[in-house]
Structure formats: C-alpha cells, structure tokens
Amino acid sequence: MADVEIFKHDILIVGTGLAGLSAAVEAAQRGKDVATVSITQAYRSHSSAAQGGINAALANVAEDDSAERHGFDTTKGSDYLADQKAVLAMTEQAIPRILELDKLGIPFSRTEDGKIAQRPFGGAGYPRTCYSTDKTGAVIMMGLYEQCLYHEVPMYEDRIVLSIGEKENKIKGVVAINLITGKLEIFQASAVIFAVGGAGRVFKDTTNSWHNSGFGFVLPYFKGVPLKDMEFVQFHPTGLATNAVLLSEAARGEGGYLRNKDGERFMKNYAADKMELAPRDIVARSIQTEINEGRGCGPDGDYVELDLTHLPAEQILSRLPQVRELAIRFAGTDLIEEPAPIRPSTHYTMGGISVNDKTESEMTGLYAAGECSCISVHGANRLGGNSLLECCVFGKISGVSTSEFVEANKVDDDALEVLQKEADEVEANIQNLFNGEGSEDGFKLMAEMQKVLSKNLGVFRNKEGITKAQETIKDLKERYKKIKVKYTGRIYNWELARLYMLGGQLHLAEVIVEGALKREEFRGSHCRTDFMKRNDKKFMKHTMAHYDVKNDTCKISYSKVDLSIWEPEERKY
C-alpha cells in the first residue's frame, strides 16, 4: 500500500490561474471549506502571462456597445460553433464581473474622465477590451490571490495531480504527488474543480509555459468524461519568431502594422475592413500564407514583421511596456525603433473537458472552468480578450455551483478506500517508470510528439499530414511503454513528473488528431486545405471524444450546437 498523507476539504480546486482563483474566492466568500492544489505558486500561474485585456461591453468608449453585440461578435468569431446561450450568459455577466474586479482594486488603465479604458481587439465591432497596460492577467491574478490570502484559503503548492478517484461516476477526490517530499498525497473532496489551463505543450512552437502540458485534460477523460472539440487549436498570429514568446494582440489594438518583406501591410489582401484586427484565425492564416508564398522576411523568409515604429514612443512606453521588453529581451529589437520578427505560434485550446454553463461535467461532483473546459463559448476560434473573461466569469460560476453542491453532498464514507486504491495504482505506475525496460528515451518521444503535431496540425492541415500524425502518435504510445526514468530520487524529480505526464499527453494528442481527421471541413482554426469550405450540413456539431478503455484509444461521436439566437452566416471582415 502506497505511503500517503491525507487531506480533506469540501471543495478542491486543481489549478490556481484566474479560473481557479475566481472559484476559490467565490466559495470562500460563501463560507465553504475550499482549497487549491497546483503545480506552482498561485501568483506564477500561466494566467499571469495574459497581456492584452479582458472583454466587457462597458460602453466606455463606444456608447452603443452591448452584451448582445459582444455575444454576436463572439459567435461569429467562433465560426458559429459556440453554444449561443452560453456565449450570451458570458457576455451578460462580463459587465458586473469587471465592475466587481474594479471594486476589488484591480488597477485597470483609465480614460481621461476616470472610466475603465477599453481598446479594440480582433474580431470585435467595438473597443471593449478592458486592460491594465499590457499586464492585465498578472494584475487580476494578484488581486484574486490577495483575496484568497484574506479568506485564508489553503493552497497546496508544488503538487501535480496524477489521478482522479471516482466510483459509480461520482468524484471522491484526487491523488497528487508532492514534489517537495516526493510522496503521494490523497485529497478527499465532495466537489473537484479542474482549472488546469491549456494544452499548448503538446505542440513544439507555443506561447504556453511548461505548466500547460495538457495532462489535466486526460484525467477526467480516462474516467469517462468526454473531451469536446479538441481539434480546434488557436495559433496566435504574433509569437516571436525567435522562441514563440507572445507579443500581445494589444500591440495591434494600439495600431501596430503587419508587414511582409516588401514592407506591404498585407492584411488588406485578406481582411480589408478589419486589417490587423481581424480574428486570430484569419490573421494567422494570412501570415502563414505570406511566408509560404515567399513574401516572408529574413534570410530564410520564415517570418513577417510587427511594426510599431509609426506610433509615438510615449504610447508604446505607457501602454505596451511588456511587449517592448519581451521584444528587446528575446529578439533584440526595440519596437520604438524597429519592427519585431513574428509568426503564428500554438496558443490556446478551444476544446476541453465537456461541461455545461454551470461548469458541471458528466461525472457527479466534477467541474471544470477556464481553458481546460469546453462550455462551449469559443467554438472553432476564440476572440482575443475572451479568455480572461471566460476564466473570471465561469470560474466564479463554478464557485457558486460547487458551493451549492456541497451543501447537499458531503464526502462519502468509501472515499478514502477508493482513493487509497487509486494511489496504489499511481505508485505502481511510478515504479514501472523507475524499473522500465529503458530502451526508449522519453524526452525524445516528447519531442517527436510535439514536432509531428506542429508540422501536420498547424495553421494548415490536410488528410495526408493528419494521417502521418495519427500513425506517429500510435507508434509513440507503444514506444512509451519502454521508457525508463533514470533518476530515481523522489524529491523534485522533474524527470519523473514530465515523463509520467507524457503518457497522458500522448492520449491527448491522439484525441486532437482523431477529431481533426474526421472533421472534413474548413471552420475557424481548423483549416483543412483538402476541404476549403465550411460544411454546416455535415459538421455543424461538436466533436466528442470518449476513452475506449478496452482498446486504449478514443472513440469519436458528435453532439448538437446551440444555434438558438443567431442564424449562421458566412464570416466576412
């Protein structure tokens, strides 16, 4: 029997980004016994890297903006795959949520008359992106973190959740490894919220931190909870060409230009009305097309330029200080004086753990919020500024939902028995990695996975490339059984952690590939060059991936899209 330490809480939140902290604050304010467990310190979560802003139809700049217009822009941007009632619920809650954050002391940038400042973002009909210079995610994170400290929310840091304990489709808690001690720990809970961020690290070139492994997606999946729309992966147009670090959409919102090797603002050829502020999928494809057709910059023609040199230096210094700093640090270019080299980079996961608009999954007591969830409010393409909004709105809603749930559902008597058995299985998996055959290098397998996905499931895709990825992932899953962890110490064993999670990442890659292969159309971020039209008749539906335990693979089915408010139409910008 695995040697474990046991913790008990009514509500456990896995992850401490904006969604997790929003849930924790809400539950704590309601007097619930809530705790968080995370791979890193709360204030270092990947949400803190979100730069540009958070959307809400406050109408501080454009007086005729509204939640309905915000909802329509979001639905159109999603290429009509978003569930429309969920979208409208988000955009309606956006306004009071921003005002609530403002009252908490979040230092939003201001207009001259003292209102929260708003800038234009891609795909939006109005300037509705509230911001704090270009560090919006970080300042909201710190405000919510301070609220958690005020409410004395327990935070179990430097832990990685490795498994879920469930019985008869009801959550019992989770099993985690404590990186500090190297020991397994059991967390009993009546309700568990997954708020583990994105999955960018299954790809090679990504704006995501190493924490966004995607491993948290597959833990509910392995226990019967479906993953929805995982083939829809967003590629941010302006990742630095040197290392994929994000240069915020705020740079284009403030008036930045995109130029090819001839100095041409080429977006006029793709989205003449919106130009650089077209939705991200359109801008990313436009950039990649310029590169593919020989109009890229540099000796290899493998990037275009983000040009801010026409903007006043004071505007860059006051509104884009972090963007400028990142370009200087990682590309050696000062945006006040010269353009920065950029190209599309893997950025955001539109799909995720399937939940409803109350953040409830198909497993009793299991909830999900933020990027790891799929409600769905982003559909086939997310608009910039809606990710922080989703986290803050649905994170809060998950705090409400779980608080109401635990009032009627306490930790079951058999929870410890179920979780102890789960811990024994996890420990057996760890020992298998320590004592494996060792004929395969796990990190080489990881690199192969990332490379094949980036090459074949990037901005442009086709059957030949996706099939190649399918074959490679299948092979990697078999080779994974032959890896061995070389360092067998237990304290801060990152080799063990990374390679343990790799097993789950390979399954997640498989889900992405299978969904992409079967969706034979061009919709949003899913650009099939062999099917260059949106096919509403056949594919106006959500992709649902269930884990097939017997065959150790995924089964694809489909579910309906909520089209109850706006009629689908062709996307034009």
- Strand-pairing partners, residue 240, are 342
List C-alpha distances in Å: 148 to 9, 357, 449.
Answer: 16, 24, 38
Among residues 252, 280, 343, 498, the one annotated as catalytic is 280
Residue type, 334: D
Of residues 473, 424, 430, the one with CA closest to residue 449: 473
List C-alpha distances in Å: 192 to 225, 274, 350, 411, 442.
Answer: 14, 42, 22, 11, 31
Structure-token match 């939640």, residue found: 67
- Secondary structure class of 359 (helix, strand, coil): coil
- Strand-pairing partners, residue 556, are 545
Q: Can 280 be counted among the known catalytic residues?
A: yes
The answer to whether the CB of 233 falls within 8 A of the CB of 346 is yes
Give the H or E element holding residue 170: strand 170-178
Structure-token match 């649902």, residue found: 544
Q: What does the block give as tokens for 25?
A: 């604050």
Per-residue HEC secondary structure of 23-92 comes to HHHHHHHCCCCEEEECCCCHHHCHHHHCCCCEECCCCCCCCCCCHHHHHHHHHHHCCCCCCHHHHHHHHH
Sheet holding 118-119, edge to edge: 54-55, 129-130, 118-119
Catalytic residue numbers read 280
